[in-house]
Amino acid sequence: MVDYKDIKVIGFDADDTLWVNETYFREAELEFSKLLSKYETPNKIDQELFKMEIGNLPLYGYGVKAFALSMVECALELSNKNVSPKTIEAILNIAKDMLNKPVELLDGVEDVLKALSTKYRLILATKGDLLDQERKLEKSGLTPYFHHIEVLSDKKESNYTKLLKHLDVKPSEFLMIGNSLKSDVLPLVNINAKAIHVPFHTTWAHEEVDEKETNGKSYKTIGSLIEILNILK
Ligand SMILES: [Mg+2]
């Protein structure tokens, strides 16, 4: 039984925890595969784009801009460098449209932040592109609930250890809440902090974890963010 009585600081993931994100990537991938349909099957295009993104991660990191560069590179490769400038322009527009999307908050987000912010120090810990994440936070209207915003280049144990040191919080006093087992839950459990998993209906393949990795790990899974208020009374 996990107890939360020592918790002083709560970290929230942003994408697919506070607001919709992954859905837009799925839509973009679909559009991208339509643009390249004369060169390859949708399945193959999906696979190649994913490979390209993973290959580029160490160079570009996460986020829409990195995704745009990977789409362009993938289009060049799949078309044997025959892709038209018009198609490249359409690809860039997919990314621009993603960056211009309104922010769609998930159910209960504002109620949860409002209630918890009176008792805990709340921080936002997200990866992705700094400018894009700042823009989304601004549009979300949630900024006043957070003491600190951290855009991390990655969400591994070492990134969290550094963050907690910076915040002067012990792992036992920190709870992370997020949709990704790989990024928001397991690294925290592994450094003796607490974590609560709130799955979103779609997960990027890169964020998926093997069942073996979660075996014996102590964390809670809830169906909707609002349930947090029953746990952290
Ligand atoms: Mg997320």
Token pair in block for residue 49: 């784009």
Question: What separation in Å is there between the alpha carbon of 21 and the centre of ligand 1?
Answer: 8
Question: What separation in Å is there between the alpha carbon of 52 and the centre of ligand 1?
Answer: 21
Question: What separation in Å is there between the alpha carbon of 202 and the centre of ligand 1?
Answer: 10
Question: What separation in Å is there between the alpha carbon of 104 and the centre of ligand 1?
Answer: 14
Report pLDDT digits (tens) over 25-74.
999 999 999 999 999 999 999 999 999 999 999 999 999 999 999 999 99
Task: Give dist(CA 229, CA 151) in Å, integer.
Answer: 26
Return the domain boundaries, the chain: 9-19+103-231, 22-99
- Please determine, looking at this structure, whether the domain spanning 22-99 carries the CATH number 1.20.1330.10: no
Report pLDDT digits (tens) over 106-131.
999 999 999 999 999 999 999 988 89
Question: What separation in Å is there between the alpha carbon of 179 and the centre of ligand 1?
Answer: 5
Report pLDDT digits (tens) over 216-232.
888 999 999 999 999 99
- 232 with 206: CB under 8 angstroms? no
Question: What separation in Å is there between the alpha carbon of 14 and the centre of ligand 1?
Answer: 6
pTM (two decimals): 0.91
CATH class of 9-19+103-231: alpha beta
Report pLDDT digits (tens) over 153-205.
899 999 999 999 999 999 999 999 999 999 999 999 999 999 999 999 888 87
pLDDT at 210: 83
Reference 12, options 176, 158, 173; nearest CA is 176
